[in-house]
Amino acid sequence: MKLTGKTALITGGASGIGRATALKLAREGAQVVVADMNEAGGHETVQQVRDAGGEAAFYRLDVTDFQQVEAAVQFAADTYGGLHIVFNNAGIGANKPFLDHDPETYDRVVKVNQYGVYYGMLAGARKMVELGIKGVIINTASVFGYVASPGTFGYHASKGAVRLMSQSAALDLAPHGIRVVAIGPGAVDTPIIQGYKDAGLDSHMARKQMRGQLIQPESIADGVYLLCLDEAHIINGSTVMLDDGFISFK
């Protein structure tokens, strides 16, 4: 278990990629703080971690509130004595044609997907520097940070921003020994694509990947785990594509 003794804070940990990653990191020895607005789902993730023999705690978090993000970071450090991994994974989508896209919807998507990542990077990095920990911050971008798709303007804007924010933060934090990496998942079978499923578009999304199937959250969790390892020290400032070839043949 290569993450024994390390503490990980995971936003959006109540379901999907966040839940799968919490389970994966805990199985590899990490102490995990599951942060999410969904209390029922968050507690369920914690229980699953504990049932598997891992250690986890839940923190109710709205990532659009910087003070709450700071408090979640402090909770992780107080509960487990450190902060080595921050996975800024919380995200939402909105499927609306551009001409029907209202400012309120755009603001909400950007606030969660972009500002939530910024807040997590800032609060997490400050705590790592304070504690003298050379940790890693991982941010969830997307293939939609590279290619366009109809009806998801705000999502594209926010995920494209995550790519460049990760690069910029990596440069500034390198002197402190803190790595910042983004991941670019493809079409993952999580609640965020429910709207596509309802519209019967899930098979269309699956065909965009080399194996012709939706990616399972556990596969993304495996990729995140690898980036957490000390052996991944050379990977910094990059967006690592976890997309089963989605981008490679577009």
Please confirm, yes or no, whether 155 is among the known catalytic residues.
yes
Residue from 80, 119, 146, 155 carrying the catalytic annotation: 155
Give the 3-state DSSP-derived string for the chain, with helices as H, strands as E and coil as C. CCCCCCEEEEECCCCHHHHHHHHHHHHCCCEEEEEECCHHHHHHHHHHHHHCCCEEEEEECCCCCHHHHHHHHHHHHHHHCCCCEEEECCCCCCCCCHHHCCHHHHHHHHHHHHHHHHHHHHHHHHHHHHHCCCCEEEEECCHHHCCCCCCCHHHHHHHHHHHHHHHHHHHHHHHHCCEEEEEEECCECCHHHHHHHHCCCHHHHHCCCCCCCCECHHHHHHHHHHHHCHHHCCCCCCEEEECCCCCCCC
| Cα 40 to the center of its chain, rounded Å | 19
Active site residues: 155
